[in-house]
Amino acid sequence: MPRGQENVNSPEWLLRQRDTVAYCNLRACSLNKDKKGMRLALAEFSTNHARLCARRLVLRASEYAAALDRLLAVEALRAGFWLKMMHRVISLRNVEVQSYWEHIRKGYELIAEGETLSATDMDLLEGKCPRYSESDSSEIAALIEDGSLCPNAKPHWRAGLLGRLKTLPLMIRTLNTFFTDLKYMEDFVPCIYHVVDRTSAESCDSTLRDAYGKSTGFETARQVLWRFILQNYLELPQLPRRSSRTLLAKQRPGGPDEERLHALATLAHELGFESDKITRLRRISAEELIARHALLRARKPPVFRAEDSHFESIQDAMVEVCREVPEVPRTAQFGKLVSSIPQTRSYASGFPDMLSYEREKEHLSEWDASILQSPPPMGWRVTTLFRLQTLCHILFDVPTELAFEKNRARRESWETIRPEDSEGSAQLSESEEGGEAEDRSPAKMPSNRRHTSPDVVFVELVNSKWNILRQVHSPNKESVRRVAEELCASHCLAAVSPDGGIGFIAPEDCFHSAVASGINTVLAMAVGATEYDSDTISCYTKFLYQ
C-alpha cells in the first residue's frame, strides 16, 4: 500500500492529492494549448520533483498521459494516483502497464453501472476477488449490510452490487494496487534485457518485436517468454541500469545463475527471437559455464597459469560429473488458484511472500486464459499463484479484449448504434470538416484493402463510421512513430486484430502493430470521448476486415 494511504489526513497524503489536482490542471491546459495556464499549473506542485515528473509525463511521454486521462477523470480512482512514481513507470519502458490501467477502468465501470463511487468505496474493494474468495465475498456482504460501502447509492443498486462484483474474473485493482505492483514489476521486467538489447527510445515490447524472426506467433511467444521470466527472475541477475562510466563501484549481491540464463536464451531462440545476446548465451552449455566459472574463481588466471588443454580437460571432467548427477524425482502436482486455508495477511498486490512464491512458481506456465470462462471452485481465499497469474495475464496476454463477462442487459441499453444495427455503416471516410458528415450511402471497407494499400492509416470511430485521421505514405517505423506521437496529445492508440481484440500501444509500437493487423491500421480513440466505450469499438473493428 503506498505511503500516506494508511492515514488519509496525513500531510504526505494531502500533498499527493494536491499534486494530482495540479497535474490534471496541467494536462487540461496542455490539451487546450494554453501556455499561460500551464505555467500557473506548474506553480501549484508541492515539490520540484513533482513538477519535473509532471513535465516529463505531459511533454515527453504523452502516450502514458493519454492513457491515464480516462482514469483520472474518475474521482474515485484519482485518489490512488502517485505522480512522483510516474518517472519510474516511464523508465521501465513497459507499455503493457496501459493494459493494467484499462483493466482498472473497465472494472470500475462494471461495478459502478451509472452510480458514482467514492475513493473510500474503492479503498474497501481493492485487492478483493469475491468471485472465488469466500472470505472476500463475506466481507463485502457485511460492508453492504452495515452501510459502510456505497452508503449514498440507491437501494436496488446496492442490492445487486455483490452479484456484479462476482462477475469479475480477476481481482479488483486500482491505482493503489498498480503502484504497489510497479515495485514488483521493476524487479522482473528488466530481466528481458538478458536476451535483447535495452534502448532508451523503445519499449521492451517494441524491442522484442524487432528481435522476433518469424512471420507469425509473436503474441504466444511473448507470453511464454514473460511467464518464464516470472518463474525465474530471482535466479536471473539484475542488470545495471547505467553504463560502467556512471555506475558506482559498489558491491552487489549474488552472481548469475548460468543454468537459468542458458535456459532463458534457449527458450527465446526456440520461440523465434534472435539477438547477439541469445547467440552468445547459447554458444556454451550451462554445465560448461558453471565449470568454467568455478575454475576461474578457484584459481585466478593472472596468478595461476595453465595450458588451455589442461584447463579444458578439467572443465570437461566437471561437465561429465554435472551431467551424470541423477535428477531427483518429483511428484507431479497441480497449482491451486484457491485455498481453503486462511492466512493472517493477504497479499493483494506487490511482491509475493517468498514461501508461497517458491511453492507455486513452477505452475506459472500452466495458465490458460479459458479459466476466465470456466472458473475454479470457490475457496476461502485466492492464492499467490492466482494473483501472479492474473497480473501476468493483464500485462502480457495482449492484444486481447479484457475478459470481463458481458452484461447483456446493460449492452441492450446502449445509446450508441451497434454494428449489427448499422448494416455495414462502419465505413472508412475522410474526416468531416466542421463535424458534419457528408450524406452518403453506407458502405463497408473494401475487403482487398490489405493487399492494395501499403500505407499505414490511423482511424477513429465517429458517427458510426471509421474516419481516417492520418495516413502515412511509404511507411517505416520512424515515420509512423512521428505521426503517432503527434496524435498522442489528443488520442489513445490501440492495436487491432481480426477477432475484434484491441490493446493499447505506444507510438514506437504502431508500425509493428499496423503490419501485424493485416490491414495496416492503428486505432485512435479521442481522450475524454464518451460516445463509444471500448466494447463498442471492439465490435466495430470487425468491420475493418470486411
pLDDT at residue 438, rounded to an integer: 36
382 and 336 Cβ atoms separated by less than 8 Å: no
pLDDT at residue 416, rounded to an integer: 31
pLDDT value at 377 more than 70: no
Name the 3-class secondary structure at 433.
helix
pLDDT at residue 296, rounded to an integer: 61
pLDDT band at 427 (very low <50, low <70, confident <90, very high): very low
Q: How many CA atoms lie within 13 A of 363 on its CB side?
A: 20
pLDDT at residue 343, rounded to an integer: 62
- What residue type is assigned to position 174 of the chain? T
Name the 3-class secondary structure at 428.
strand
Q: How far apart are CA 315 and CA 288, in angstroms?
A: 7
Q: How far apart are CA 435 and CA 457, in angstroms?
A: 20
pLDDT at residue 489, rounded to an integer: 77
pLDDT band at 19 (very low <50, low <70, confident <90, very high): very high
Grid coordinates belonging to 506: 505506444
Among 275-289, 391-405, 470-484, the range scoring the smallest mean pLDDT is: 391-405
pLDDT band at 247 (very low <50, low <70, confident <90, very high): low
Residue 425's CB: how many other CB atoms inside 10 A? 18
Q: How far apart are CA 502 and CA 496, in angstroms?
A: 5
Look-up of cell digits 482487398: 448
Among 66-75, 143-152, 365-374, the range scoring the smallest mean pLDDT is: 365-374
Q: How far apart are CA 190 and CA 134, in angstroms?
A: 36
pLDDT at residue 22, rounded to an integer: 95
pLDDT at residue 238, rounded to an integer: 74
Q: How far apart are CA 235 and CA 361, in angstroms?
A: 12
In this predicted model, which residue has the larger pLDDT, 35 or 409?
Answer: 35
Q: How far apart are CA 129 and CA 372, in angstroms?
A: 13
DSSP string, 318-379: HHHHHHHSPPPP-------SEESS--SS---SSSPPHHHHHHHGGGGGG--GGGGTSPPPPB
Nearest to 256 by CA among 247, 265, 248: 265
Name the 3-class secondary structure at 310.
helix
In this predicted model, which residue has the larger pLDDT, 269 or 308?
Answer: 269
In this predicted model, what pLDDT tens digit does every residue of 118-176 receive, in sequence order? 989 998 999 899 988 888 999 999 999 998 999 988 888 988 999 999 888 888 999 99
pLDDT at residue 236, rounded to an integer: 84
pLDDT band at 380 (very low <50, low <70, confident <90, very high): confident
Q: How far apart are CA 174 and CA 80, in angstroms?
A: 7
What is the mean pLDDT of the segment spanning 410-421?
A: 31
Look-up of cell digits 505555467: 39
pLDDT band at 94 (very low <50, low <70, confident <90, very high): confident
